[in-house]
Amino acid sequence: MSILVLGSGQLARMMALSAYPLGISVQAVDVADNKIIDPVTKQAINDTLEQLLGEVDAITVEFEHIPEDLLELAHRSGKLKPSVESVLTGADRVREKKLLEKLHIANCPFSIVTDVAQLDAAVESLGEKLIIKASRDGYDGYGQWRLQNKADLPKLKEQLSELDLNKVPLVVEKMLQFDRELSLVAVRSADGEMAYYPLAENLHHQGQLHVSVAPATNINDDLTSQAQTIFNKLAESLDYVGVLAVEFFQLGEQLLVNEIAPRVHNSGHWTMHGADTCQFENHIRAVRGLPLGSTKVTSPTAMINIIGCKNFAREMLSIPGCHLHWYGKAPREKRKMGHFNLCAEDYQQLGKSMLALTEYVPAEYFPMLKDEAQRLIDFDTKQN
């Protein structure tokens, strides 16, 4: 059995490492040049793309920004999972917004802008505090701008006037005062079976995910039901196969969809040690037509991204329940170099382990770690 992954980064690598014990081989396509590589060793493979498209049992993606000619080739093979429509929707915020509207799924109030002159009307309808997002190719805080007050609008319009908004429109969203950010990672099989991981709480810094804690604290049955119902609507509408992540803003007792990701997701990395079957294995199972694995939580877990940083001692591995995943990349600013998973018996111990981790890593690269550690300690103390 074999799978071809479009994309050759760390997500392809982690999918491959989960596939091998199942007896499934994985090759990856470097989408920059369509060369075939081993996603773990990064060594070149002599097989051609056309040869592998014919030979493999399934084709999947590690991220949504796949060149459309390559995506079309994979689609024509009849082996692409999730579907081409799923990938295109995840890659284009305009498509995504239209899908959410079609399915009557609550999300941030928004306008689509194809000319900077339309920003005046957007301010009038949505207010002067706005988040402006490129509809394509934006991630980790890139391709985003903020408007805090109307007086700054002329300067922002001048900056955005350099963009081709007919080619890549802007999605202009009302800046909401939400309580927190959550995400649901779940999986759907080809025959419609669903399996859900619990909601995770996500902490962002400068538009980039730094910490996820799962299961999220202070989650009730209604929030879980809302999230799973939204996932079901999206997955069924797209005839989705594989892992799909849905990111939410929580406002009181309501969840608003921020965005969807048609793939394994950073906020699901905690499942590698905190769940019975990790998201990577469940994605492989789904796209290869195998029974889905249990998503039962085995321990409260925190996932901490290592971003742009390489200078720390490995002695943090002495912390009970600490697991390091290093991606082997050359360091640069805002680049995800790896992640830690910390597992513990309860949230208080998890918070203490996170505090212990701060002794081994440079604080400037982990700005959310200490405060979140203390929050978890305080949370468990109040519960008891």
Q: Looking at the 3D structure of the chain, how many domains does it have?
A: 3
pLDDT of residue 313: 78
* 166 and 185 both lie in a single domain: no
Which among 19, 89, 9, 7 has a CA at the least distance from the CA of 57? 19
Confidence of residue 110 (pLDDT cuts 50, 70, 90): very high
Residue-wise pLDDT for 139-192, tens only, equals: 655 688 999 998 899 999 998 988 889 899 999 999 999 999 999 999 999 999
d(CA 159, CA 176): 23
Eight-state DSSP code of residue 335: -
* 304 and 156 both lie in a single domain: no
Residue-wise pLDDT for 80-99, tens only, equals: 999 999 999 999 999 999 99
pLDDT of residue 380: 62
Which among 99, 91, 97 has a CA at the least distance from the CA of 64? 91
* 206 and 350 both lie in a single domain: yes
* 9 and 131 both lie in a single domain: no
* 206 and 284 both lie in a single domain: yes
* 53 and 190 both lie in a single domain: no
Confidence of residue 369 (pLDDT cuts 50, 70, 90): very high
Whether 317 is in a domain gets the answer: yes
Eight-state DSSP code of residue 123: H
Phi, psi of 113 (to 5 degrees): -120, 125
d(CA 354, CA 377): 10
Whether 94 is in a domain gets the answer: no
Residue-wise pLDDT for 188-213, tens only, equals: 999 999 999 999 999 999 889 999 99
Where residue 19 sits, what CATH number does that domain have?
A: 3.40.50.20
* 166 and 194 both lie in a single domain: no
Whether 51 is in a domain gets the answer: yes
Residue-wise pLDDT for 37-78, tens only, equals: 999 999 999 888 999 999 999 999 999 999 999 999 999 999
- Describe the crossing of helices 369-383 and 347-358 by its angle, rounded to 10 degrees: 160
* 132 and 254 both lie in a single domain: no
Q: How confident is the model over 264-270, as a mean pLDDT?
A: 98
pLDDT of residue 314: 86
Whether 87 is in a domain gets the answer: no
d(CA 342, CA 322): 5
CA distances from 100 to 90, 115, 117, 152, 221 (A): 12, 23, 26, 30, 23
Domain span including residue 19: 2-80
pLDDT of residue 379: 87
d(CA 3, CA 25): 6
* 190 and 336 both lie in a single domain: yes
* 74 and 48 both lie in a single domain: yes
Where residue 280 sits, what CATH number does that domain have?
A: 3.30.470.20
Let me know if 260 is exposed, middle or buried by CB neighbors in 10 A (0-12, 13-18, 19+). Answer: buried
Question: What is the three-class DSSP state of 142?
Answer: coil
* 267 and 359 both lie in a single domain: yes
Whether 67 is in a domain gets the answer: yes
Q: According to the 3-state scheme, what is the secondary structure of 58-81?
A: EEEECCCCCCHHHHHHHHHCCCEC
Mean pLDDT, the chain, whole residue set: 94
The answer on pLDDT for 1 being more than 90 is: no
The answer on pLDDT for 137 being more than 80 is: no
Whether 104 is in a domain gets the answer: no
d(CA 151, CA 148): 9
pLDDT of residue 272: 98
